Amino acid sequence: MKKVAVIMGSDSDLPLMQGALDMLGKLNIPCEAHIYSAHRTPDAAADFAKNARANGFGAIIAGAGKAAHLAGALAARTTLPVIGVPIKSSTLDGLDALLSTVQMPSGMPVATVAIDGAANAALLAAQILAVSDDTIAQKLEELRARQTEAVLLKDRALQEQK
């Protein structure tokens, strides 16, 4: 089974990016978390991305705030799918990170989830891996069924309150 890399620009991003790690854990998808900065450790980030496929990764999730060049910097060094998680910072409420992540030049795609959407990034990575992994596909089907049932239970409870 391919691994998913969860890369963050700073250790201060870990509480938010934990959502991706938790979701991957629920789906039993192996993952590794690393801290690389597009600006402070550009060579280490590039080296990781260049070697990610050979090291058994199938997708990379990159979370960063403010200038948020991390996802793009990683995407420039690999052909693996890169999913950007714009992180809300104290300035501009994450809009700066969103725009930096989503505005990639032609030929250099980065999938982008919502601001602070780490869990959805993990689900998207799982869906990408599920294209060629029936075990992950089945786990995603089961998760969707549980989500559906949870909503229907809430609706039944609401109807009983009337």
Tens digit of each residue's pLDDT (9 = 90 or more) over 104-127: 999 999 999 999 999 999 999 999
Please state, for a pLDDT cut of 90, what percent of the chain lies above it: 94
CATH topology of domain 3-133: Rossmann fold (3.40.50)
- pLDDT for res 91: 77
Nearest to 117 by CA among 102, 136, 133: 102
- Of 68-72, 77-81, 113-117, minimum mean pLDDT range: 68-72
Long-range contacts of 18-25 (CB under 8 A, 24+ apart): 18/118, 19/118, 19/119, 19/122, 20/61, 20/63, 20/85, 20/118, 20/119, 20/121, 20/122, 20/125, 21/122, 22/119, 22/122, 23/118, 23/119, 23/122, 23/123, 23/126, 24/122, 24/125, 24/126
- pLDDT for res 34: 98
Task: Count other Cβ atoms within 10 Å, centred on residue 77.
Answer: 17
Looking at residue 104, what DSSP letter applies? P
Domain boundaries in the chain?
Answer: 3-133
Report yes or no on whether pTM surpasses 0.85. yes
**Average of pLDDT values for 60-69?**
92
Q: Is the pLDDT of residue 162 over 80?
A: no
Beta strands in 66-132 (DSSP E): 82-87, 111-112
Q: Is the pLDDT of residue 81 over 90?
A: yes
**Average of pLDDT values for 92-112?**
94
- pLDDT for res 33: 98
- pLDDT for res 30: 98
- 20-39 pLDDT, tens digit each: 999 999 999 999 999 999 99
Please state, for a pLDDT cut of 70, what percent of the chain lies above it: 100
How are beta strands 82-87 and 57-65 bridged, if at all?
A: parallel
Q: Is the pLDDT of residue 67 over 80?
A: no
Q: Cα 20 from chain centroid?
A: 6
